[in-house]
Structure 1
Amino acid sequence: MSLTLAVVAGLGSALAYGAGTAGQHAEAYTGEADAGRLVDLARNPRWLLASLGDVVGIALQLLALANGPVVLVQPMLVLSLPVAVVLRSFFGAPKPSRADLANCLVVILGLALFFVLLGEPRRGSIISTQATAWTALLSLVAGGMAIAAVRNRAPVPRAITFGAVAGCWFGVVSVLIEAVSSVWQVDGLAGFRHPVGMVPLTAVVVLAVGGYLLVQLGFQLGPLGASFPPSLILDPVVAVALGAVLLSERVPLGSGRVLGYLLCIAAVGWASVRLAEPEKSRRLGMGRH
């Protein structure tokens, strides 16, 4: 394990995800959810180019998770929003204002405070097959219920829900990846013929693909401020919570630290919503729609 490599790869992943998000939202936003349009997007050169950011981001995220604990790697992905804000001018939006840059600084400082409170991270154990199955099943059921509950709501509430569910699922995926990686390292492809490998692999694929599709549908439904902040915030929150509970990763507690964590979440969440608020995101390439 190399924490230095984990940090570098994690930061690279956030950069790649941010670039991909800016481009994907500019191409996907229509104000309506149309699953069929996802097929059209798959033939859109600009959307495909932006999606390469996700591919690079996933590869770097896997490298980071292979070398560092979930509680260290996932929170770094919060930096993808400042990256998206800075880069979205390349897709037709105005350059970030001073207020935007100030909010980017709040996100960075909030993340830095979290890492100060976290201290030196420590790798935990690998989640069991039974725990993997139950965690994945409960995540899918809860997410499906949330999506069903807003099926007749207005576009923006649906986009918020899609983003929230996607963020939770991505957080779960980051916890399950370690089990997949362990099976691969020990038994290779043969290990996935048995439940100990098949269960986590299936869960990771289903939740990751489902989350990705929800993100794209959320991008269609509403401005960046509707779907992206919930996904961005809930991903590391769920990952850190499950990393501590299911993987026994070190997350120091205590009244002072818990209050500090909550302050970090509040600061990053507040700044994230302001960075991607509807008034600005409507200008994110959205002059062409």
Structure 2
Amino acid sequence: MIVLAVFFAVLGAASNAVGTAFQRKAASTVDRGGGLALLRALVRRPAWIIGIAGVTGAAVFQALALVNGPMALVQPVFILELPFALLIAVPLLHRRLPAAGWWAIATVVAGLALLLGAAAPSGTRRQAAMEQWIPVLAVTLGAMGAAVAVARGSSSPLLRAAVLGAGAAIGNALTAALMKSATVRLADAGLPAFLTTWQTYGFALTGVAALLLLENALQAGPLVASQPALTIGDAAVSLLLGVALFDEHVRTGWWLLPEAAGALMIVWGVFRLTRVVPHLGDFVH
């Protein structure tokens, strides 16, 4: 089951990379507008349609991964989305990835392997009780709202991109938690139960909200501000939600040392990759 979870998570990361790459290309062609106005402008662009197809495929793979393994294992694998996105962008733009980019990709992959190998996430519960969902929903939805408020009140492109990216990360993690719960209902009780559980409609709504935050983060400022917050934030919040909602476990004690080393390698690699992206020309802002 764990092998299947990792397999589907990697496929999901690759599919999401396709989605992110084409969404970013579409977002970079829109000069003005935000929120629903931005979305109306994007739906007329073929690149955005391809991006949505990639995101849809990623959602299917993500659901399959979550039903086979813990959130604390599945969601961090989606860190691979950024390296995949760059590898997709290079042939699309007929460019070569600099040596620094290859080293950064290798560092992210090695850091992720070290982190997950040391943490060894395990022990997922099938469902969370409503009294656990209520505080989680209050905190995560409140944080997403706060991100929007801060972005609207700021004139700094760096800050706006960072807080909107963080808001999108929280939305993605919450969507994954709700999706896991709904998918388990589907597996255990069939389609009628899936269609009547509140988590199904919850992950649909939070998924749309996270998508809007992502689109606005990509438009608000440079990738170096939004991508680290999005990539690292999703993994961190997902791990916390897995522990809080589904009683998942990670190893502690001396294992925290290699876990911290792996996390630092990921952070360094992600920041280095975002430094490489501007050399890819008009692919991003």
- TM-score, scaled to structure 1: 0.88
Partners in 2 of 1:239 and 1:138 — Cα distance? 13
Summarize the alignment of residues 53-202 of structure 1 with structure 2, pairs less than 5 Å apart. Answer: 53-92=54-93, 94-119=95-120, 121-153=122-154, 154-191=156-193, 197-198=197-198, 200-202=199-201
Gaps of 5+ in 2: none
Correspondence for 2:256: 258
Q: Secondary structure at the match of 2:251?
A: coil
Correspondence for 1:239: 238
Correspondence for 2:39: 38
Indicate conservation of the 8 Å contact 2:21/2:85, yes or no.
yes
Counterpart code for 2:53: L
Correspondence for 2:4: 5
Indicate conservation of the 8 Å contact 2:150/2:163, yes or no.
no
Gaps of 5+ in 1: none
1:164, distance to aligned residue in structure 2 (A): 0.6
Correspondence for 1:268: 266
Partners in 2 of 1:177 and 1:140 — Cα distance? 16
Alignment of 1:248 with 2:247, yes or no, is yes
Which sits farther off after the overlay, 54-63 or 129-138? 129-138
Alignment of 1:22 with 2:24, yes or no, is no
1:230, distance to aligned residue in structure 2 (A): 0.9
**CA, structure 1 residues 246+279, in 2 after alignment: closer, same or farther (shift >3 Å)?**
closer
Indicate conservation of the 8 Å contact 2:98/2:276, yes or no.
no
Q: State the percentage of identical aligned residues.
A: 27
Q: Secondary structure at the match of 1:241?
A: helix
1:191, distance to aligned residue in structure 2 (A): 3.4
Partners in 2 of 1:167 and 1:174 — Cα distance? 11
Q: Secondary structure at the match of 1:276?
A: helix
Indicate conservation of the 8 Å contact 1:33/1:218, yes or no.
no
**CA, structure 1 residues 267+247, in 2 after alignment: closer, same or farther (shift >3 Å)?**
same
Indicate conservation of the 8 Å contact 2:67/2:184, yes or no.
no
1:189, distance to aligned residue in structure 2 (A): 4.9
Partners in 2 of 1:105 and 1:193 — Cα distance? 42
Q: Secondary structure at the match of 1:56?
A: helix
Partners in 1 of 2:223 and 2:89 — Cα distance? 11
Partners in 1 of 2:83 and 2:234 — Cα distance? 16
Partners in 1 of 2:238 and 2:203 — Cα distance? 14
**CA, structure 1 residues 50+146, in 2 after alignment: closer, same or farther (shift >3 Å)?**
closer
**CA, structure 1 residues 48+89, in 2 after alignment: closer, same or farther (shift >3 Å)?**
same
Partners in 1 of 2:32 and 2:94 — Cα distance? 21
Q: Secondary structure at the match of 1:269?
A: helix
**CA, structure 1 residues 190+16, in 2 after alignment: closer, same or farther (shift >3 Å)?**
closer
Indicate conservation of the 8 Å contact 2:126/2:181, yes or no.
no
**CA, structure 1 residues 93+221, in 2 after alignment: closer, same or farther (shift >3 Å)?**
farther
Question: Runs of 4 or more off by more than 6 Å in structure 1?
Answer: none
Matched positions, count: 282
* Cα deviation code 1:141-185 (max 9, x no counterpart): 122123202313222311111111111221122223232123333
Partners in 2 of 1:218 and 1:84 — Cα distance? 17
Partners in 2 of 1:277 and 1:32 — Cα distance? 25
Indicate conservation of the 8 Å contact 2:132/2:244, yes or no.
no
